[in-house]
Amino acid sequence: MILCFGESLIDMIPEPTISGAEGYVPRAGGTIFNTAIGLGRLGCKTGLLSGISTDQFGTQLIDELDASNVQTDHVIRSDRPTTLAFVKLTTGHASYSFFDENSAGRMISKSDLPAKIDDVSALYFGGISLACEPGAQTYAAFAEQNAKDCVVMLDPNIRPSFIADEERFRSRIEGMLKLADIVKVSDEDLDWIITGAAGFEEKIAQLREMGPTIVILTRGREGAQAWLPDGGMIFVASQKADVIDTVGAGDTFNAGVLASLHDANLLSKKAICSLSGFQLETALRFGAKVAAINVGRAGANPPWRAEV
């Protein structure tokens, strides 16, 4: 099983009302939630470990997980509120305003986590859940405890507005980078993690030195690149799509990459360390394919296997 750790929230997506004024439609979302949904729809045995409210939005999140074949055994329910993310779309690209104080997802603690996990081959971390304490520390501690036995994939998905203490956050992310087998970053993430005027290739080299076995860099319409343990580089072009919006595009890409590796029985420490260029390229291409389907829809809406 692939176990995903992190935020589940409601994206408030702008849509015109009958009167013509702009309103908002609540849609289930969150970086980690979206990837779990994508994996479940692609037929991978997937679970989610997240704090989810018992309020009406939390019920909506649980219903969506169930409908997409994502196991909820490890979901931590509480009566704290659901995180809300109001989305602003500018020529199809999304920006967010978050309401997350005292939320069900943010306030989980180490005592909420299982003592052990069984039948899990890969752990997936990232998103705002690594920036918002105390939950961020909870996830980081669990990653450190279980990284030796499972493949770890990390997508930092940096959102500077969420970072209250930059020094503590950088320390946490650097610790996660050392644990990770696969790291996916956007070009914006890379520039935040590795500061300075150096080119992206030099920054990628510095990022690889921090510990990850595989590094994947996504650059929007310019496609994706990935680096193998031996330094070899793979490039995959983005697929053409009629873009409605980009909400959940990166999350769906990650689901596609993990699903491809899962299908090929490559989600083990040994397999990741000896991954071939062809195997990595296959995973990237599948990620690009499912992401292209997602951006042709409103909001985060990863495809089902039959649609790919």
Q: How far apart are CA 119 and CA 149, in angstroms?
A: 11
More confident residue, 27 or 41: 41
Q: What is the 3-state secondary structure (H, E, C) of 253-293?
A: HHHHHHHHHHHCCCCCHHHHHCCCHHHHHHHHHHHHHHHHH
Q: Span 101-108, mean pLDDT?
A: 95
pTM: 0.93
What is the Cα 147 distance to its own chain's centre? 17
Q: How far apart are CA 254 and CA 209, in angstroms?
A: 22
Choice among 48-57, 85-94, 228-237 with the minimum mean pLDDT: 85-94
> Which CATH number applies to 2-307: 2.40.50.140, 3.40.50.2300, 3.40.1190.20, 1.20.1440.230?
3.40.1190.20
In single-letter form, the type of residue at position 166 comes to E
Pick left, alpha or beta for residue 42 (phi over 0 → left; psi -120 to 50 → alpha; otherwise beta).
alpha
Q: How far apart are CA 248 and CA 269, in angstroms?
A: 28
Q: Which residue has the tokens 């993310």?
A: 85
More confident residue, 199 or 70: 70
Q: Span 56-74, mean pLDDT?
A: 97
22-29, strands of its sheet edge to edge: 22-29, 9-16, 84-90, 93-99
- Cα of first residue to Cα of last residue in the chain, in angstroms, is 21
Return the pLDDT at 227: 97
Q: How far apart are CA 300 and CA 250, in angstroms?
A: 10
pLDDT at 92 over 70: no
Tens digit of each residue's pLDDT (9 = 90 or more) over 195-238:
988 888 899 999 999 999 999 999 888 899 999 998 899 999 98
Tens digit of each residue's pLDDT (9 = 90 or more) over 258-301:
999 999 999 999 999 999 999 999 999 999 999 999 988 877 89
33: helix, strand or coil: helix
Pick left, alpha or beta for residue 126 (phi over 0 → left; psi -120 to 50 → alpha; otherwise beta).
left
Return the pLDDT at 16: 85
What is the domain partition of the chain in residue ranges?
Answer: 2-307
Query: 34 burial class (0-12, 13-18, 19+ CB within 10 angstroms)?
Result: buried
In single-letter form, the type of residue at position 18 comes to I
